[in-house]
Structure 1
Amino acid sequence: MAFFRKKQARAQKQVQKEPTEIIKPWRRYLDKKDQASETIRPARPVGEVLPKLKATRKRHLKRNLIIVLVPLCLLLIFVAYYVSPISKVGNVSVQGTEVIADQTIIDHSGVQKNDHILKLLRQKKKISAAILAGVPGLKTAELNISNFNQLTFNVTEYRQIGYLNKKNHYYSVLSNGTILKDVVAKPVGNLPVLEGFTEGKKLNFLIKTFKNLPLSIQNDISEIHLTHSKINPYQVRIYMNDENEVIADLRTIQKKLPNYPIYAKALKQKGVIDIEVGVFAYPFSKDTKK
């Protein structure tokens, strides 16, 4: 009996709730549904949406075609260029040479007839270094490529200061002390002929001294022979264009030889001017005249 009484009391409590309290959850649900329906945009007509959809698809199609076709075309162009004759070495020329043979520079570059231009473009610095290492008479060397496959080596030589006479063969002597290996048929220009010199300390000393002499004295010198006596390894005999001869020391030429016009004027006839230690002159005898 007690159980039924409790159940009856619980039912009475539920009946005692206000009707408004019972429908509140349902009301909140309806309010939320109305708000959601208000935010939904009205559907646009199919005729308005369809053209825009087609335009969007066309844009996407064009973009995809570009992404695929552009790399493919570039690849085809590259392959066509790589197998064509213009991708390989064509005409080769050298600019800036006066003393050194053009073929010498081309040979030391290592460039071959069938080399690809793209390979040479990657190795430009290496090629320049190889030329300078193989041809010491050059200050600079640069490879330029034009018209797809035309090669030009632009070089700068050291200045030529004279010719070395070795067993009646002449070799160009450059201002950096290099003696070129190519034989010259005969000396050209107003440059002195050297004898008895080899590449090294004494030749470098002479070049340094010669470059510091007045230009007028340089032009007066015809030949310079390294006589290097036992007493003086730096002794030289200088043959002047006016037919006088000068005995001198390489170490004092720069100081004494600029006064040569004064010494020559003091001579009454052609002879020898000795400025090796002091300064004195004497005319040629039959035994000393060249």
Structure 2
Amino acid sequence: MSKKKIVSIEDRIPKLKQARKKKANRRLIFYLSIFFILISIIVYLQSPLSHIQTINVTGNSFFDDEEIIAQSELTMSTNIWTINTSDITQAMSDNPIIKSVEISRKFPWTVDIIVNEHQRVGYVEEESNFHPILGNGQILHEMEQDAISGDAPLLVEFTEEEYLHRMAIELQELSDSILNLISEIHWNPTDDNPNDIWLYMNDGFMVSGTIRDFADRMQVYPSIISQLDPEDKGVIHIGVGAYFESFENDNDEDNQMETSTEE
């Protein structure tokens, strides 16, 4: 029968003390690490290291970057971690041009401002100057220019705000390819149809239509002109049904159309 080795308690005490000392040292190092990390975070948050250093603005066309940044009230002394994105987006959304805005932070010092503007759908003329009109019906009276840049049609004789607003909403629903084909839109209300409009197109055709459901009705325009001889100009009717009427077929009717759009 083998004999078991007996270790006295005196021999085990130094090893126990050493193990406890190592455990205590590890615990101390852990707590000291946590302490210094917390101190570092506090110092960082209170120092210029946590301030914004770069602000990127995208999606803006009516205002330059500096104006958008000024509206956001962000500065290079703003702590990036104290930004209240909800307050900023709400304040900037009060601008009639801005449809929505998104604020995002990128570690360590960058803020992105992504602007979604209401679309410019046309121009109106006031005192020999041209002012943009947005898809929400808002006229930018503070922005004026001597000539139209050709990126949206001129809206003529829209003397009642209700119909101008409705026309702007319809234009906003158009694709850019169709909107860019329109040169002028004349409001020509009658007793029977207060929504009556005439369009002058950049390709030489005219369109007789109505404000009501205009965006849906204009979807047929590219299909119609693709079937026409480019030299055979005339009027495309998109009211009740859609059909083409050549200027050469009825000069009297042509003169009547031109007269009605000038009244």
Distance 1:112 1:215 in 2: 36
- Larger helix fraction of residues: 1
Relative to the length of structure 2, the TM-score reads 0.68
1:282 match: secondary structure: helix
1:175 pairs with one of 132, 135, 142: 135
Q: 2:74 aligns with which of 111, 115, 128?
A: 111
Contact preservation (8 Å) 2:206, 2:236: no
Give CA-to-partner distance per residue, 1:180-236, whole Å, 9 cap, x none.
455254433442012455895322321344456787764443122446679975455
Q: Secondary structure at the match of 1:281?
A: helix
2-side partners of 1:153 and 1:51: how far apart?
62
Q: In structure 2, what is the equivalent of residue 53 of structure 1?
A: 17
- Distance apart, 1:127 and its partner CA: 1.4
- Cα displacement (A) at 1:94: 0.7
Q: Which moved more, 1:96-105 or 1:84-93?
A: 96-105
Coordinate RMSD, CA, aligned: 4.2
The answer for unaligned runs of 5 or more in structure 2 is 1-5, 225-234, 238-242
Q: Aligned partners of 1:109 and 1:124: how far apart in 2?
A: 10
For 1:94-243, list aligned pairs within 5 A. 94-120=57-83, 123-132=84-93, 134-181=94-141, 183=143, 185=145, 186-197=147-158, 201-210=162-171, 218-226=179-187, 234=195, 236=197, 238-241=199-202
1:74 deviates by 2.0
Amino acid at match of 1:207: A
Change (3 A) 1:124 1:191: same
Whether the 8 Å contact between 1:141 and 1:155 is mirrored in structure 2 is yes
Matches within 5 A, 1:73-88: 73-88=36-51
- The Cα of 1:47 is off from its aligned counterpart by 2.2
How many Å apart are 1:73 and its aligned residue? 0.7
CA contact (8 A) 2:205 2:236 kept: no
- Counterparts of 1:82 and 1:117, CA distance in 2: 9
Task: Go from structure 1 to structure 2 and tell me whether the alpha carbon gap of 1:83 and 1:151 turns closer, same or farther (over 3 Å shift).
Answer: same
Q: What is the identity, as a one-letter code, of the residue corresponding to 1:119?
A: T
* 1:155–1:223 distance in 2 versus 1, CA, 3 Å: same
What percentage of residue pairs aligned between the two structures are identical?
A: 24
Structure 1 window deviating more from structure 2 (159-168 vs 233-242): it is 233-242
CA–CA distance in 1 between the matches of 2:172 and 2:9?
96
- Residue 107 and residue 74 in structure 1: after superposition, are their counterparts in 2 closer, same or farther (change >3 A)? same
Give the Cα–Cα distance (whole angstroms) in 2 for the partners of residues 98 and 187 of structure 1: 16
Displacement after TM superposition at 1:46 (Å): 1.0
Other structure's SS at 2:82 match: helix
Aligned to 2:254: 281
> Structure 1 residues 114 and 267, CA, compared in 2 at 3 Å: closer, same or farther?
same
Tell me the TM-score normalised to structure 1 length: 0.62
Q: CA deviation at 1:153?
A: 0.2
Which string of whole-angstrom CA distances, capped at 9 and with x for unpartnered residues, describes residues 62-99 of structure 1?
Answer: 313422x1332123212331343231222222112234
Tell me, yes or no, if the aligned pair for 1:267 and 1:281 is still in contact at 8 Å: yes
CA distance in structure 2 between the partners assigned to 1:233 and 1:119 by the alignment: 54
Q: Which one is further off, 191-200 or 89-98? A: 191-200
CA distance in 2, matches of 1:237, 1:156: 31
CA distances 1:41-73 after superposition (whole Å, capped 9, x unpaired): x98241222122222123123313422x13321
Q: Do the aligned partners of residues 239 and 108 (structure 1) sit closer, same or farther apart at CA in structure 2, a change above 3 Å counting? A: same
1:62 maps to which residue? 26
State the one-letter code of the partner of 1:60.
A
Question: Greater Rg, structure 1 or structure 2?
Answer: 1
Structure 1 residues 56, 84: CA separation in 2 closer, same or farther (over 3 Å shift)? same
The question of whether the paired residues in 1 share the 8 Å contact of 2:123 and 2:154 is answered with: yes
State the alpha-carbon separation in 2 of the partners of residues 53 and 46 from structure 1. Answer: 11
SS of 2:61's equivalent in the other structure is coil
